[in-house]
Amino acid sequence: MLNLFKGIFNLMLDILSFRYDKSALIYAIKDYLNDAR
């Protein structure tokens, strides 16, 4: 289950890093982690 989550998370990071610059990626990760809590 954890591996599945990590795979999805890594895929999401690949998509975000492809579409946005580094600062936007960092903010997207922070927003995602805040929503996940």
| Closest residue by Cα to residue 14 from 30, 2, 28 | 28
Q: How far apart are CA 18 and CA 9, in angstroms?
A: 14
Whether residue 22 is contained in a domain is answered as yes
Q: How many structural domains are present in the chain?
A: 1
Q: Which amino acid, one-letter code, is at 1?
A: M
pLDDT in tens, 7-35: 888 888 887 776 656 677 778 788 888 88
* pLDDT score, position 35: 83
Whole-model pTM over 0.85? no
Whether residue 1 is contained in a domain is answered as no
Q: What are φ and ψ of residue 9, in 5° steps?
A: -65, -45
Whether residue 16 is contained in a domain is answered as yes
Whether residue 3 is contained in a domain is answered as no
Whether residue 21 is contained in a domain is answered as yes
* pLDDT score, position 2: 84
* pLDDT score, position 19: 63
* pLDDT score, position 12: 86
